[in-house]
């Protein structure tokens, strides 16, 4: 069977994951590289294809709240409240893992991240599959996340067996991760469900960063080839542009409409590389709501781009 094919055949995707293959999975956040979370060889191939460190945990995608509970030995009240409120949707909860969870999925941790994605094709596949799909973003580790099927093909080529085309991702940034295994839940990664929305349901500890017990928490991540320079206001960007007129540069403003920017952000970063941009200036949104997730991704992109800019 030819690999690296884009299509909308759920039956074909189902056969592939059941047989230990990898499928590009559309979600509302970004495209995932999905494998049967109960097959060690399939999970190992995810790490190989992405070039991902083995100690980096994966998120298990399931069809329903009922299914999510089976992946945990201590399903907490906070996980129940958040799952029943925001699933299907861009939220992952971390809980104590059950005996069915492979160590390879959790990176050796005793906790597992689970979520119910809010995309009809993903849900259709998960319902027919009946199990869990381990699915990190379908791109090379540390690079810009994919928000279209073509992005997946461009990044992974025939490393992925089939890519389900669900159109452009609606949210455009990875899921919010909340550690519900703690006595007081903590947001480990901001995302499509805002911290304000989470805190309207459960009390939160302070926002954490920089640890590896959840995906996407490295200081450098989501990096394009061009150098990313972050500013707070447009006049600051305009002042810096004069110093780089000899370079090919671009200015993006994420502060005008953060929701629209979030859904397009990764495509915009990828387009900069396609256009040969050397230096990208981005005006950041206010650190509230979805703006917090945008700032998190851009900060990590800026750190990652310093070591690989043109």
What is the structure's pLDDT at 209?
A: 47
Are residues 162 and 50 both part of a single domain? yes
Q: Which domain holds residue 34?
A: 5-199
Q: Within this chain, do residues 123 and 250 fall inside the same structural domain, yes or no?
A: no
CATH number where 65 lies: 3.90.870.10
Strands 162-164 and 23-25: parallel
Q: What is the DSSP letter of 260?
A: H
Residue 305 corresponds to which tokens in the numbers above? 């781009």
Q: How much is the pLDDT for 207?
A: 56
State the total domains in the chain. Answer: 2
Q: Beta-carbon neighbour count of residue 120 at 10 Å?
A: 12
Q: Which parts of 123-262 are beta strand (E)?
A: 133-134, 162-164, 176-179, 186-189, 227-231, 249-253
**pLDDT tens sequence for the chain (310 residues):** 677 799 999 999 999 999 999 999 999 999 999 999 999 999 999 999 999 999 999 999 999 999 999 999 999 999 999 999 999 999 999 999 999 999 999 999 999 999 999 999 999 999 999 999 999 999 999 899 999 999 999 999 999 999 999 999 999 999 999 999 999 999 999 999 999 999 999 998 865 544 545 665 555 567 899 999 999 999 898 888 776 666 799 999 999 999 999 999 999 999 999 999 999 999 999 999 999 999 999 999 998 765 444 4
pTM of the predicted model as reported, rounded to 2 decimal places: 0.93
3-class DSSP state for residue 138? Answer: coil
Domain-located, residue 206: no
3-state SS of 88-136? CCCEEEEEEECCCCCHHHHCCCCEEEEECCCCHHHHHHHHHHCCCEECC
Q: Is residue 213 part of a domain?
A: no
- Vertex 10, ends 5 and 15: CA angle to 5°? 80
Token representation of residue 245: 């007129």
Residue 176 domain flag: yes
Spatial separation of the C-alpha atoms in residues 306 and 310, rounded to whole Å:
9
Tell me: do 285 and 239 sit in the same domain: yes
pLDDT at res. 217 = 54
**Same domain for 161 and 41:** yes
Q: Which of 31, 267, 276 is nearest to 139 (CA)?
A: 31
The verdict on 115 and 263 lying in the same domain is no
């Amino acid at each position: 069977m030819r690999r690296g094919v884009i299509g909308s055949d759920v039956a074909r995707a189902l056969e592939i994951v059941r047989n230990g293959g990898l499928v590009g999975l559309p979600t509302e956040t970004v495209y995932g590289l999905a494998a049967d979370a109960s097959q060690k060889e399939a999970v190992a191939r995810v790490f190989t294809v992405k070039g991902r460190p083995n100690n980096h945990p994966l998120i298990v995608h399931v069809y329903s709240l009922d299914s999510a509970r089976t992946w945990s030995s201590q399903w907490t009240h906070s996980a129940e409240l958040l799952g029943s409120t925001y699933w299907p949707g861009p939220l992952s909860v971390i809980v104590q893992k059950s005996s069915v969870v492979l160590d390879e999925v959790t990176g050796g941790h005793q906790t597992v991240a689970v979520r119910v994605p809010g995309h009809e094709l993903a849900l259709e596949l998960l319902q027919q599959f009946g199990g869990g799909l381990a699915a990190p973003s379908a791109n090379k580790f540390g690079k810009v996340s994919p928000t279209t099927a073509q992005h997946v093909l461009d990044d992974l080529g025939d490393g992925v067996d089939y890519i389900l085309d669900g159109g452009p991702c609606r949210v455009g940034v990875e899921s919010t991760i909340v550690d519900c295994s703690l006595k007081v839940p903590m947001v480990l990664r901001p995302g499509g469900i805002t911290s304000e929305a989470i805190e309207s349901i459960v009390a939160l500890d302070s926002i954490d960063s920089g640890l590896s017990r959840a995906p996407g928490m490295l200081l450098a991540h989501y990096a394009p080839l061009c150098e990313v320079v972050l500013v707070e206001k447009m006049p600051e960007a305009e002042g810096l542009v004069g110093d780089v007129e000899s370079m090919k540069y671009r200015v993006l403003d994420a502060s005008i409409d953060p929701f629209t920017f979030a859904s397009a952000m990764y495509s915009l970063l990828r387009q900069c590389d396609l256009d040969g941009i050397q230096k990208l200036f981005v005006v950041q949104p206010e650190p509230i709501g979805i703006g917090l997730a945008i700032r998190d991704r851009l900060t990590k992109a800026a750190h990652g781009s310093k070591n690989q800019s043109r």
